Structure 1
Amino acid sequence: MKQWLGMPVVGALLLSACVTINVYFPAAEAKAAAREFVEKVIDDADSTQIKDSSGGGMAMQLRRLDFDISRSDASGFDPWMLLGIGSARAQSAPDISIKTPAIQAIQSRMEARFSSMLRAGFDSGALGFTEDGLISVRDAGKLELRDRVAMNAAVADDNRDRKAVYREVAVANGHPEWEVQIRNVFAKQWVESARSGWWYQSGAGWKQK
C-alpha cells in the first residue's frame, strides 16, 4: 500500500526533471547568435562567416550532435528515455534563431546607422559600449559641434533598436524570460567584437580596447 502511495510523488519528481531540462538557457548557442548579429552590424556578411567558424553554423551543429551521441550507448539506447527525459531533450534541442523578419529588419537599421555615423563616433573615441548592451556618448568633445545633435539622435535610435532586438530574440525563440540573459550575452559580444582603440564601459569607468 505504501508503495502505491509513493508513486504520485515519484511521478511528480520525474515530471519536474523533464521541465527543468526543457527550459535551460543555451548559453553557447546564444553567444554564437550574438556574434553573428554583432559582426554583421559592425563589419559585413563575408567577414562574419569567417570569424564565426569557431562558434556557429556547422561547428555548433556538430557539437550538438556529438553531445546527443554521447548520451546514448553503442546500441543507440538512451537510458534517459525510460524516464521520458531523452525524447524531451531531443525535441527541444537549443538553437537561438535570429532570422525572423523583425530581427533582420532591426539588424538592417543598425547596420546602416553604424556604417553611416556610429562607426566614426567609435573611431574618434566619442562613443563607447555600455555594460548593459547599449551605447553612450562618453566624450562629446571628440565630436564636431555641428555633428553633436545628429550623433545624439543616432545613439538614441540605436539604443531603442538594441533594446528591441534583445526582447525580440527572446520572444522569437519562445522564451521571453530569457531577455535579460540574451542582453547580457550581447553586451559582452559588443565588447569582444569592438575594434582596437574603441571604448567600453567597465565598472564605474571606461577602458580602451
Structure 2
Amino acid sequence: MRKCLTGLFLLVLAAGCATVNVYITFPQEKLEKAAEQIELDLQKDLMLTPPPAAPRSGQSRVNPLKWLGPAPAYAQTISSEVKTRSPLIGEIMKQRRERLSDIQVFKDKGTLGEDREGLLDVRSSTGLDRESRLKQEQLVKEENQDRLAMYREIVKINSMPSAELKNVQAAFAKIQRKLAQVGEWIQEEDGTWTQKKEVPDKKNK
C-alpha cells in the first residue's frame, strides 16, 4: 500500500513539472483596430493627419493552473487590447518610415499595390528604367521582410498561436486597403485586383 502511495505521489509530482502552454486569440475586429493604429501612426506624416489616441490597456495572462499538469495547449479568447509595442516593432516602424515616401512614388505611378496578405506586390514595371526597377524590387523585398517580421512579433508578444498569423495579415491587408489613396492598386479578399475608387459622399446624395 505504501509503495502504491509513493508511486502515485511521484506520478503527480512529475506531472506538476509539465509546462502548460496558454495561447490567446483575439476577435478579428481587435486585430483590425491594432493594425489601423499602427498604419495610421506610420502614415501620419504622409497623410498630414495625426493618428487617433487609443489607450492601451494591460493584458493579464496569469494562469492560476500553471502548477498543474500535464495539460494540453489551449486557446483563450480575451477582450483586452492587442499589444503593438516592443523594441523589435519600434525598430521595424523606424525602417518602414524611412522608405515610406519612396514606396509612395511607385504607388503613384501604378507599379506597386497592396495585396490581400498585408504585403506589397509589384503590379508593373512599365515606364521604369533599369535603375528604378531595381530600386522598386529592393523596396518591396525590404518592406515585405519588415512587415512579416512585425506580424510575427505581434503574434509572439500577444501569446497567440502561430496559426493566427494569417488573421493578423488579413487584418493589416484590410486596413491597408482602407487607407489606400484613390487610384492605387489594391487586392480584394477574393484575390481580384482593382484600383481604389473614391468613396461616394453620402451627404451629397
**Is TM more than 0.5 here?**
yes
Task: Using the TM superposition, give the Cα deviation of residue 138 of structure 1 relative to its aligned residue in structure 2, in angstroms.
Answer: 0.3
Q: Decide which of 80, 84, 87 is 1:98's aligned counterpart.
A: 84
In 1: Cα distance, 2:103 partner to 2:25 partner? 35
* Residue of structure 2 equivalent to 1:47: 49
User: Is the counterpart of residue 186 in structure 1 residue 172 in structure 2?
Assistant: yes
* Residue of structure 2 equivalent to 1:112: 98
Q: Decide which of 157, 182, 193 is 1:206's aligned counterpart.
A: 193
- Structure 1 vs Structure 2 CA RMSD: 2.4
* Residue of structure 1 equivalent to 2:126: 141
1:178-198, Cα deviation, whole Å (9 max, x unpaired): 222111101111111111111
Alignment partner of 1:136: what SS?
strand
1:130-176, Cα deviation, whole Å (9 max, x unpaired): 11111111011043332111110110111111111111011011214
Aligned sequence identity (%): 26
In 2: Cα distance, 1:26 partner to 1:94 partner? 10
For residues 1-209 of structure 1, what are the structure 2 equivalents within 5 Å? 23-44=24-45, 47-49=49-51, 52=52, 57-58=54-55, 93-115=79-101, 117-177=102-162, 178-202=164-188, 203-209=190-196
The 8 Å contact of residues 36 and 48 in structure 1, kept in 2 or not, is answered as no
More helix by proportion, 1 or 2? Answer: 1
- Structure 2 CA distance for partners of 1:123 and 1:167, relative to 1, 3 Å: same
- Structure 2 CA distance for partners of 1:181 and 1:42, relative to 1, 3 Å: same
In 2: Cα distance, 1:199 partner to 1:163 partner? 20
What residue identity is the alignment partner of 2:97?
E
- Structure 2 CA distance for partners of 1:103 and 1:136, relative to 1, 3 Å: same
What residue identity is the alignment partner of 1:157?
E
1:96-118, Cα deviation, whole Å (9 max, x unpaired): 11111111111111111112x10
- Structure 1, unaligned stretches of length 5 or more? 1-21, 62-88
* Residue of structure 2 equivalent to 1:70: none
Deviates more, 1:182-191 or 1:170-179: 170-179
The 8 Å contact of residues 125 and 133 in structure 2, kept in 1 or not, is answered as yes
* Residue of structure 2 equivalent to 1:78: none
In 2: Cα distance, 1:154 partner to 1:41 partner? 16
- Structure 2, unaligned stretches of length 5 or more? 1-22, 58-75, 197-205
In 1: Cα distance, 2:192 partner to 2:32 partner? 25
In 1: Cα distance, 2:39 partner to 2:157 partner? 18
In 1: Cα distance, 2:33 partner to 2:50 partner? 11
In 2: Cα distance, 1:176 partner to 1:190 partner? 24
In 1: Cα distance, 2:193 partner to 2:79 partner? 39
Alignment partner of 1:149: what SS?
helix
What residue identity is the alignment partner of 2:153?
E
Alignment partner of 1:47: what SS?
coil
